[in-house]
Amino acid sequence: MRRAIYSTKPKLGSSSRRAPWSDSMELEMNDIEARPWYREFWVWFFLGILGMGVASGTSVLVIGINNAPQMVTGDYQPLGKVLVDTRERADRAASLGLSALLSVDDNLAELVLGADQLEELPDQLLLRFQHPTDAGRDVSAVARRIDADRWQVQMGSIQPPERARVILSDLQQTWWLAGRFSGEVAGQIGLDPEKL
C-alpha cells in the first residue's frame, strides 16, 4: 500500500505569502460567538405566530362553548340532508282568516283577533316574545278571552325584551301569527300569518 505524501513546499508559480484579506477574514470568523437559541429573533418570530394561532383557537372555543346555538323556531322538516320551511302553521292561520292587533303597556297586553269564525277559537292563546339572538330572554304568557274578539295577558312580572318577534298561537301550536315588537309601543302591532 502506498501512502500519499504531501509536500509543504509551495508549488511552482505560487507565492509563499498569504493574501492580505485572508488575515482579516480569519480574525472575523474567530470573533463571532455562537449565541444561544433563545437570543435569536427568528425563533421568537415563529413561536409568536404559533402562539397567536393557539390563543385565537382557544378564544373561539371558549366563545363557542359559552354561546351555544339557540333552538330554531319555525316549520322545518328534513328533506334529505337539509331542512326546508314548510309554512304549515302560517298557511293554517291564513286558511282560518286569522289576523290580530296587539297593544302592550306596563302591566297589560291586549289582543284583538279577527277570524272567519271567531267562536271556534280557543279561550286561551299562547303569546310569546322571542328575542332575536338570546333564547334566555324569551318570555311566554297565556292570553285569556275576555270578549268575543279580545284576549288579555296580565304582564305583571313578565318583562318582554326591548326587541322581539311576537308569536301568537293556540296552545297546541297548530297555527300562528307573527309580528315585530320594538320596546315602547305607540299604538298597536299587527300580527299576520307569516313564516318565522
176 or 188: which carries more pLDDT confidence? Answer: 176
How many angstroms separate the Cα of 195 from the Cα of each of 10, 84, 103, 107, 139? Answer: 99, 12, 22, 29, 20
Per residue in 123-143, pLDDT tens?
999 999 888 888 788 888 999
Distance between CA atoms of residues 96 and 116, nearest Å = 6
CATH class of the domain comprising 89-191: mainly beta
> Domain residue spans in the chain?
23-66, 89-191
Distance between CA atoms of residues 162 and 180, nearest Å = 11
- DSSP count for the chain of H helices, then E strands: 3, 10
In this structure, the chain runs to a length of 196
Backbone φ, ψ for residue 129 (5° rounding): -110, 110
pLDDT of residue 25: 58
Distance between CA atoms of residues 99 and 39, nearest Å = 74
How many angstroms separate the Cα of 94 from the Cα of each of 45, 138, 177, 195, 196? Answer: 64, 25, 9, 11, 14
Q: Which residues contact 111 (CB under 8 A, 6 or more apart)?
A: 100, 101, 102, 125, 127, 143, 150, 151, 152, 153, 168, 191
Give percent of the chain with pLDDT exceeding 90: 28
Instruction: Look at the block and give the residue holding cell 270578549.
Output: 147
Give percent of the chain with pLDDT exceeding 70: 76
What is the average pLDDT value for the chain, to the nearest integer? 81
Query: Which pLDDT band, with edges at 50, 70 and 90, does 17 fall under?
Result: low
**Mean pLDDT of the 113-131 span:** 89
Per residue in 44-93, pLDDT tens?
999 999 999 999 999 999 998 887 766 666 667 777 777 777 788 888 89
